Structure 1
């Protein structure tokens, strides 16, 4: 016979508490989705401090900061605190914040000159790694005024001078530092590097001066050769006859420079002959040909025969045969055109009283004989045959 069921057991007080604990979430618990970010907001576990501290967002951190940077502390303690903060930033390679911290320490104007010298030197190091070499140099100079034998300041100053390519000054700072510590490795290395770079710089300067003198001599010889041939050079075309005089007075070394796209310039060859960069223009099709070295004794027909041995692809009407072509140059100031005999040499044309070499590059027009374009091109212009 089964026993009768007894009354249910009543739950005790401990059981009720555990049930409530299981069913209710702790009010200060981290969110399962963002617990890592929330954990990082606790000052003790922060991986890095925020750039700006908002008391409402980070009340614990703001409280700690107010304790650390207590304005009631003596200036020396405050300056030292900022120095330590700057050192931490420096270790993290956060050089911008390090500069700010060291600067805040210097603002305290404490009476400890050794501490101030360290702050200046440390700020110089942070500036150095930011590439602010002049600012860094100013800081180490100030540090040495406070502490003349501060070796770290001397090392940093030597490195700044080295980066600024002040090689003599870098060597001087190294010598001053080595008088304090003759075995300081960084100073020995910096002095050797500055000396090597100084010698290289002096050698480059000597080479540059020698090259410049050589070029000036060559240019003078070249200019003399051009003058002897009575060739007239102008950087810009003369506006009227009053500005021309005899032409020779306008010539200068600058007149030998060339604005052409190929960068070619007139030069004297081993036989004492001039070779010119020459530009041929084909206005009918907007085309050009460039000859980088047109010998002064070469004829125009010699180059035309080579250039038009085959008809160019832009000659749609197939009319640019050497026998059909005429050579001209323009005198812009007089609005005149001169026809060049293709049998003439370049020198003969350049010696003409109406020809002026512009920007170091003689320029000529190539037109098809008696073509409609040529007739239209000559309208309103006086055409002269070169004699």
Structure 2
């Protein structure tokens, strides 16, 4: 009894297909280099022995076969050989250019698509395929106005072309979406600029001096208007609390300027709570702490517990007749030093004054 068809393993199937490529009649394309294979040489010369138009037509038909099989690269190669055959028939030239553009469209080589379509349109200004493929490529490149222009030109003489109409509708929608996003972006930039101008004015009113960071801001927080203030006249500013005794710090990301410092110390260092891990001696307890800050001109200001951030900003103002002074806003933050009252405080103040005056 005869055996039925046998399924080959994938590796064996690939080996057999590769072997077919070495047989001239089954080759995907003709090699350009010299070959000792007499059969191949005969076929190769046969492919070029007709007129340029006949040779180009032959390559076009081979390209069409591969294109139908969705083998875009092989089809592209044959269309290129057809173009290189230099046919004289403008209709054939246009077809080869448009077909190669179709391959490049599938391969997402949009620049090549536009170049071939431009050449096709120079041969035939009413080439619907060239306009269509140009429009698709331009839309893929987000050049929507140009895509719309291509479609409009084509529909001017080919009004019922459904493919071009579809591309036109899609390009218009995409352009509308892009324009809307751009408008939203511009509006956001405008509002950000307005907000920054207003912030700068409020900084000046509060004697806050912005120190730009040459490396860009590393702070995820930034000063802003208090959204709960209907008058839009109150600032929220990030604040650093430094503990130089232990070379550590805390950040208060949103310090409302009218809030007293005592409100934060009560929460951070309650008397009956466990001390922070870094507080080796258990000295950081509300009621036993003092706060200092330094101005641009190195003045040392002692901050009363009941003072608000706004109060300290006012205290940082230079006296009449003296150079401008105020608190420095570095990397979007104001900085304050928190110390235990007593010897630690006294030593730190002395060291600061020595470094300032030295």
Match of residue 47 from structure 2: 69
Cα distance, 1:157–1:144 mapped onto 2, change above 3 Å: same
What residue in structure 2 maps to residue 277 of structure 1? 238
Shift of 1:373: 10
Distance 1:77 1:203 in 2: 52
Paired residues for 1:50-199 under 5 Å: 59=37, 62-63=40-41, 65-67=43-45, 69-70=47-48, 72-199=49-176
Q: Distance in 2 between matches of 1:201 and 1:39?
A: 48
Provide the rounded CA distance (Å) in 1 between the counterparts of 2:347 and 2:255. 29
Shift of 1:140: 0.6
Q: CA deviation at 1:284?
A: 4.5
Task: Name the SS for the 1:326 alignment partner.
Answer: strand
Contact 2:209 2:327 in 1 (8 A): yes
Of residues 356, 361, 378 in structure 1, which corresponds to 2:328? 356
The residue aligned with 1:264 is: 222
Q: Is the 8 A contact 2:138 2:147 kept in 1?
A: yes
Shift of 1:267: 1.7
CA distance in 1 between counterparts of 2:37 and 2:294 reads: 85
State whether residues 94 and 123 of structure 2, in contact with CA within 8 Å, keep that contact through their aligned partners in structure 1.
yes
1:204 paired residue number: 181
Q: CA deviation at 1:330?
A: 4.7
Output the CA distance in 2 between the equivalents of 1:264 and 1:231.
14
TM value normalised by structure 2 = 0.76
How many residues are matched?
329
Task: Find the aligned partners of 2:331 and 2:90 in 1 and give their Cα distance.
Answer: 65
Query: CA distance change for structure 1 residues 376 and 99 in 2, over 3 Å: closer, same or farther?
Result: farther
Distance 1:290 1:215 in 2: 25
Counterpart CA distance in 2 for 1:46 and 1:287 is 80
Structure 2: how far apart are the matches of 1:204 and 1:382?
57
Task: Quickly say closer, same or farther: Cα 1:230–1:328, change in 2 above 3 A.
Answer: closer
**1:52 offset after TM fit, Å?**
6.6
Aligned pairs for 1:38-49 (under 5 A) are 41-42=19-20, 49=28
Give how far 1:127 is off.
Answer: 1.7
| Cα deviation 1:332-380 (Å, max 9, x = unaligned) | 886x765444443212323413522223321223334456799479647
Q: Where does residue 346 of structure 1 map in the other structure?
A: 309
- Structure 1, unmatched stretches of 5+, are 1-32, 238-257
Structure number, greater radius of gyration: 1
Does the Cα contact within 8 Å between 1:40 and 1:46 map onto a contact in 2?
A: no
Task: Please point out which of 293, 300, 304 is paired with 2:261.
Answer: 300
